[in-house]
Amino acid sequence: MKIALVAHDKKKDDMVQFTLAYQSILEKHELFATGTTGQRIAEATGLKVRRFQSGPLGGDQQIGAMIAQNDMDIVIFFRDPLTAQPHEPDINALIRLADVYEIPLATNMATAEILIMAMERGELNWREIIRNRRHAGGSL
């Protein structure tokens, strides 16, 4: 599975703790992250993470593009709901794309843990079927 990991500044420590806790699961999958978040995850865990630009510089949009191409399976986005974000339109667009393309999205640690455990149990394998069907030019 392809998993996007994104965290606002005040949530980056939480993301690092999350990836440390679930490292044995995450290492079996392709990980993508926005700039600093990806760097912090890689440094703390040794996991291979493909890094995009930081969110305000287009990283959210790069992940959104993968979603629009049906090339992302899960998004874990630890948002900071108490701090205004200068790139809020990009954040909203990313969340909208996840909804449009039915990509499982967690915006907090509690939901992320549920998604990771469901993925580990094989409950998200339907994403591979949909991705393969759409990449082969089929429709649903």
Residues noted as catalytic: 60
What is the C-alpha separation between 104 and 74, in angstroms, rounded? 5
What is the C-alpha separation between 55 and 80, in angstroms, rounded? 13
CA neighbours closer than 13 Å in the CB half-sphere of residue 42: 14
Q: How far is CA 60 from the centre of its chain?
A: 10
Q: Which two tokens stand for residue 7?
A: 């965290």
